[in-house]
Structure 1
Amino acid sequence: MRRTLRPLLAPDRARAGRPPGRSGQQRGQRARGVLINATCKRETLQDRRTFADEREARLSLFRWLHRYNTVRRHSTLGRRSPIAYETALDTPSTTLAPAA
């Protein structure tokens, strides 16, 4: 109980454990990594207690990574898959540039 209330009661003391010099960008990158790991665990291990062997666990993780990086739609990409997003970026514009 004391541990959970400490940041609320003494916010300056709560920061004492953080390493100095950590920028907001580094914290953001770590937060994204934690989010991806949590999503992986939730989607890969859902309704599953064990894998038969290490190979099966690795294949399951590989399938999830492949789906996440190519097929799964991401909210930050406008609900498009990474492949569709990159394809849209590579498509040349059909409108002409304005004349100077």
Structure 2
Amino acid sequence: AIESLHLGGGGELRALLLGLGPAFLWSMVTWLCSGIEHFPLFGLYAKEQYKWELQLAPASFGHGFIVAPRYVLSVVAGACVASGILFPIARAHEGNWYAS
């Protein structure tokens, strides 16, 4: 679909509509059913304590299609290290490293 944006013959409009329809539908679903967009993947405790949630935003899927897989894996690895290792360590030192 991305390659067709640069082709002639109406491929641009078709690619735009193929992306616009699902994005609009998803926006309407998340607007009507609050809580779907920020799904507590690891449970409510992890969501409340560590802010771990699965964000199902159309922009995230769009970035995944546009950028290279190596970059996406780097961002995911960085998020896992920050959220899974560094944040719990910093939280354990609350009061010593920073004011609570």
Query: Which TM-score band (shorter chain)?
Result: 0.3 to 0.5
| Alignment TM-score, normalising by the size of structure 2 | 0.32
| Alignment TM-score, normalising by the size of structure 1 | 0.32
